[in-house]
Structure 1
Amino acid sequence: MTAAKPDCAFWRGKRVLITGHSGFKGAWLTLWLSRMGAKITGISLPPNTAPNLFELADIAVLCNSHFCDIRDAAVLADRIRIAEPEVVFHLAAQPLVRASYRAPLETFSVNIMGTANVLDALRGSPVQVAMMITTDKVYRNNERPWPYREDDALGGHDPYSASKAACEIVLDSYHKAFFVEQGVAVASARAGNVIGGGDWSEDRLIPDAVRAWQASKVLHIRRPDAVRPWQHVLEPLAGYLVLAQQLWDHAELAGAYNFGPPTHEAVSVREVIELAQAAYGNGEVQHSDSSEGPHEAGRLVLEIAKAKQLLGVQPRMPLTEAVQRTMAWYKAQCGGADVRRLCEEDIAAYEAAL
């Protein structure tokens, strides 16, 4: 199958709803869709970090932006009714594993009931494609050496992973009970560990490194040998866009899809931070082999054959380039570069390579 890519002609004029548009991935997605001419409505909570990409890139001017808690079903339904979306990307979530240990009830409430509220609000709407973004952590992780496929058992040790696995069950129920009859194509997208400029979330490797090194402090690594499917943010976003395009005319492709790097590029935290050090040019690191703290998976690798074979989605950016581009973004931003321009340059370079 010919490699697929986001199609400007498809997105031009499309009414698109993005929940979580104030977050890291949501802001990048809003920027990309705006460049392609989509008519975007964004629904999310205000950004919870300072700095944040949403404000620095002035994402609000690119869309009809609303701050709304997706747990407020009535307000959410009203916003969605007014937006009349044709395509929905649901990214709004409590997205952090360690935060989910501190606030499990909030994590379950936001991720499970918030998702159910979004799905329920779409019943009877003009939506044609609903893309629900979950995570690579939905799988019951047995620390096995081979990659997880879309039909493997769901599970979750930590509250975040469990909540996202539950979202998959809620999504499957709404799809079968309501959306098949309504003619809506529904899919879940499970992406690996995402890096890229503009992420300042807590307890994430690259943001933690940037904060430490910009302050001339030592970066402390908890689990240097943990293996993850690292990828630049534009890689899964390209996959989401292509999947939505395909679903528009081929509802039979609905279902779950993994998006990640080639299997051999799922590497350890230690290897990624060594690449980041080299790209940044300086910065001290102290590794710890301690298993203290809440449980986190030691190895997680995704099988991406389904997305390749059915959608034509191919990983484009090698890990070395992904890390180099990410660190160059942070260095330029710290030096006073225009953040919107930095993002647009990365998107333009990625599009040119497709």
Structure 2
Amino acid sequence: MFNNIYNNKKVLVTGHTGFKGGWLSLWLKQLGAKVYGISNEVYPDPSLYKVSEINSQVESHIADIRDLNSMLSIIGKIEPDFVFHLAAQPIVKIAFDNPLDTFNTNIMGTANVLEAIRRIEKPCIAVMITSDKCYDNVEWPWGYKETDHLGGKDPYSASKGAAELIIKTYFHSFFKKQGKIKIASVRAGNVIGGGDWADSRIVPDCFRAWAKGDKVIIRSPNSTRPWQHVLEPLSGYLQTGQLLYNPDKVNINGEAYNFGPPTDQNYTVLDLLRQLAINWDNQNADILQIESGDFPESGLLKLNIDKSLFHMEWKPTLNFNETAKFTSDWYQAYYKSNEVNMLDFTKDQISEYIIVAQRKGILWSLK
């Protein structure tokens, strides 16, 4: 799997206490990596990091990516073979409430991590994770390509677009000339899966309510999103690291890549919640409540993944129903059973995902 490149390597995950960072850290551990993490230890309670005991799998460093000296010290001491940069302020609403903090974290924090990587004396692979929100959303119905305009009209989107410009600048000004640092930026969105308890997200809100026996009130049931399980983009990030480390058919150094579901896998909020509800409650109880009145539709932002399909031969593994089942099964294990070890369960889901990928002939899982 991934040509076994992560085995016995030092891999740093910034934002390892977050939702995606936690899943990535556990997957890297299963791949035989020595995993290090940097985080300011800000996470919801409960959190994937706590309930799955990810601290037992990672050498954790508590620091703020806005602090350049901390990044220089920690990254300089670790001297990682790989860096996956996920640490960020990820919530759109918080960005409206506190735009300067979001800019400092997502823009200058990214610059600080890149500067620390630049000063490493040894070769290093850096996979920089931003977001589908880095694109300027002009409300068109087709997917955004890596060559489309960056930057949005809201603080969060602007911070992600600016982070992409910082990444591009470091590549062309420093890494391309030096040669020892290889880098790529990767973008994904609408990620769901077990262990996400962030505020103002529909899936965590649902399971919080359902665990208490409450109905979930839906105000925009017909809004359409390209939903994907968290392990889908992570497989793309890991394959990006693999191809940077050991180029196969194409040189991806300095490139940007989108990861998302197939273009035809766009389901409404109501479609998703109904499928989650079926998996959550086998009796199919009425646990959804749609408010009466008109429902304004938010704009669709989806990614074109043709470049990843062509360059990497990467493709999604799970269909819509499998995505919903993986997600509901995790929350069921947490909320409905006091005897389940969530670290083991989360690792088992990674193993199950790999088996599905192998059964479907997905390239990264076969060699």
- TM-score interval for Structure 1 and Structure 2 normalised by the shorter chain: over 0.9
* Whole-angstrom CA distance in 2 between matches of 1:57 and 1:79: 25
* Whole-angstrom CA distance in 1 between matches of 2:128 and 2:66: 16
Q: 1:321 to 1:287 in 2, by over 3 A?
A: farther
CA contact (8 A) 1:227 1:301 kept: no
Q: TM-score, normalised by structure 1?
A: 0.94
* Whole-angstrom CA distance in 2 between matches of 1:71 and 1:23: 17
* Whole-angstrom CA distance in 1 between matches of 2:267 and 2:140: 15
Q: 1:252 to 1:208 in 2, by over 3 A?
A: same
Aligned to 2:86, which of 71, 75, 91?
91
* Whole-angstrom CA distance in 2 between matches of 1:328 and 1:53: 14
* Whole-angstrom CA distance in 1 between matches of 2:27 and 2:218: 33
Where 2:2 maps in the other structure, the secondary structure is: coil
* Whole-angstrom CA distance in 1 between matches of 2:78 and 2:243: 22
Q: Does 1:48 align with 2:43?
A: yes
1:275 match: 275
Aligned to 2:229, which of 232, 238, 250?
232
2:61 match: 66
Q: Does 1:343 align with 2:335?
A: no
1:19 match: 14
Q: 1:201 to 1:235 in 2, by over 3 A?
A: same
Q: TM-score, normalised by structure 2?
A: 0.90
Deviations 1:29-74 (A, max 9, x none): 0000001110111001114211111111111121210111100110
CA contact (8 A) 1:16 1:40 kept: yes
2:76 match: 81
Q: 1:175 to 1:271 in 2, by over 3 A?
A: same
CA contact (8 A) 1:6 1:238 kept: no
For residue 243 of structure 1, what is the amino acid of its counterpart?
T
Distance apart, 1:195 and its partner CA = 0.8
CA contact (8 A) 1:258 1:304 kept: yes
1:265 match: 265
Aligned to 1:137, which of 101, 125, 133?
133
CA contact (8 A) 1:141 1:297 kept: no
For residue 100 of structure 1, what is the amino acid of its counterpart?
A
1:186 match: 183
* Whole-angstrom CA distance in 2 between matches of 1:97 and 1:273: 21
CA contact (8 A) 2:221 2:290 kept: no
Q: Does 1:246 align with 2:243?
A: yes
* Whole-angstrom CA distance in 2 between matches of 1:173 and 1:221: 42
1:101-180 aligned within 5 A: 101-125=96-120, 126-180=122-176
* Whole-angstrom CA distance in 1 between matches of 2:73 and 2:25: 21
Distance apart, 1:146 and its partner CA = 1.0
Q: 1:222 to 1:73 in 2, by over 3 A?
A: farther
Q: Which runs of 5+ in 2 are unaligned?
A: 359-367
2:328 match: 327
For residue 328 of structure 1, what is the amino acid of its counterpart?
D
* Whole-angstrom CA distance in 1 between matches of 2:172 and 2:68: 21
CA contact (8 A) 2:132 2:188 kept: yes
Where 1:264 maps in the other structure, the secondary structure is: coil
Where 1:263 maps in the other structure, the secondary structure is: coil
Distance apart, 1:127 and its partner CA = 4.1
Distance apart, 1:287 and its partner CA = 4.3
For residue 304 of structure 1, what is the amino acid of its counterpart?
I
CA contact (8 A) 1:143 1:297 kept: no
Runs of 4+ in structure 1 over 6 Å off: none
* Whole-angstrom CA distance in 2 between matches of 1:42 and 1:116: 18
Distance apart, 1:77 and its partner CA = 1.0
CA contact (8 A) 2:150 2:161 kept: yes
1:304-323 aligned within 5 A: 304-323=305-324
Aligned to 2:288, which of 260, 276, 284?
284
Distance apart, 1:297 and its partner CA = 4.9
* Whole-angstrom CA distance in 2 between matches of 1:297 and 1:92: 27
Deviations 1:274-301 (A, max 9, x none): 211222124223347455xxxx951011
Deviations 1:95-153 (A, max 9, x none): 01112111111111110010000001111312421111001111111111111111111
Distance apart, 1:237 and its partner CA = 0.5
* Whole-angstrom CA distance in 2 between matches of 1:325 and 1:241: 20
Where 1:252 maps in the other structure, the secondary structure is: coil
Where 2:322 maps in the other structure, the secondary structure is: helix
* Whole-angstrom CA distance in 2 between matches of 1:108 and 1:258: 22
CA contact (8 A) 1:71 1:113 kept: yes
- Report percent identity of matched pairs: 43
